[in-house]
A = this chain, B = another copy of it.
Amino acid sequence: MGGRRPGLLGEESGRRRRRLDRRQVVSAALDLLDEVGLEGLTTRRLAERLGVRSPSLYWHVRDKEELLDLLADRIMSEVPVPAPDLPWRERLERLLTAGRRTLLAHRDAARILAGRPPRGPHWLEVGNAAVGALVDAGLPDRDAVDGVSLVVSYLMGFALEEAESAYGGGDYSEFLATLPPERFPRLTVMAGILSRPDADRQFGYGVRFLLDGLERLAAR
């Protein structure tokens, strides 16, 4: 499969094209991730999709770990940094909802991001904006740092769970309903309340809760 037609008009269009650079490698990795998920994202498959043998990748990237670092930051680049003249609460809210959207837009994105220290430039840009929002809110530096840590932990945890249950299969509430009520009385009661399309509302609840709390702190 994948018949080569050498030099028809320069190069074949689309994928496989010679003279790679890092950007292309990362883009192809992101495409592959979306198609096959993190477990399917192997250096060999990535090379194949780039029309190259797998050892070639190591010219562009130190190892798979670095590839994933680059991929993580590429994903973060899709989170828009809100204009600094917006009110701080609006800025933070936008960062959170955009963060969630981006984390869900790419398969296993949350798993890739959550397991990695935020060293990429785009992550830093977002972190900078988040801290800036809380400083502008009037929080002392230390509280601003703690507040961002709080909010980021929540975002990551939420996106991770949402992605896993959106994909990992099945209604969780259905599962809960099968539990023995005498052992898990609270959970079986909850089974009815819980359903998947609830994720939006649940996230909204969390965001409002957090922003309300931060606003209260800022008011003092």
* Cβ contact within 8 Å between B202 and A209: no
Q: Write the nearest CB–CB distance from A102 to chain B, whole angstroms.
A: 16
A56 at the interface (CB under 8 A from B): no
* Cβ contact within 8 Å between A209 and B205: no
Q: With the chains together, A125 CA to B209 CA distance in Å?
A: 26
Q: A164-B116, A164-B117 are in contact. Are A124 and B184 (CB under 8 A)?
A: yes
A141 at the interface (CB under 8 A from B): yes
Q: Write the nearest CB–CB distance from A170 to chain B, whole angstroms.
A: 8
| Most chain B CB neighbours (cut-off 10 Å) among A141, A145, A157 | A157
Q: Write the nearest CB–CB distance from A76 to chain B, whole angstroms.
A: 14
* Cβ contact within 8 Å between A213 and B206: no
- Give every chain B residue within 8 A of A119 (Cβ-Cβ): 175
Q: With the chains together, A153 CA to B96 CA distance in Å?
A: 14
Chain A positions 145 through 165: 1 when the CB is less than 8 Å from some CB of chain B, otherwise 0: 110011011111110110011
Query: Can you list 22 A-B contacts with CB-CB less than 8 angstroms, sorted by A residue number?
Result: A114-B114, A114-B161, A115-B160, A116-B164, A117-B164, A117-B165, A119-B175, A124-B179, A128-B185, A128-B186, A142-B193, A145-B190, A145-B202, A146-B206, A149-B158, A150-B206, A153-B154, A153-B156, A153-B157, A153-B206, A157-B157, A157-B158
Other A-B contacts than A129-B186, A154-B154, A209-B213, 14 sampled, CB-CB below 8 A, are: A115-B160, A117-B172, A124-B184, A127-B186, A132-B185, A141-B190, A141-B193, A146-B201, A146-B202, A152-B157, A154-B157, A155-B157, A156-B156, A213-B213
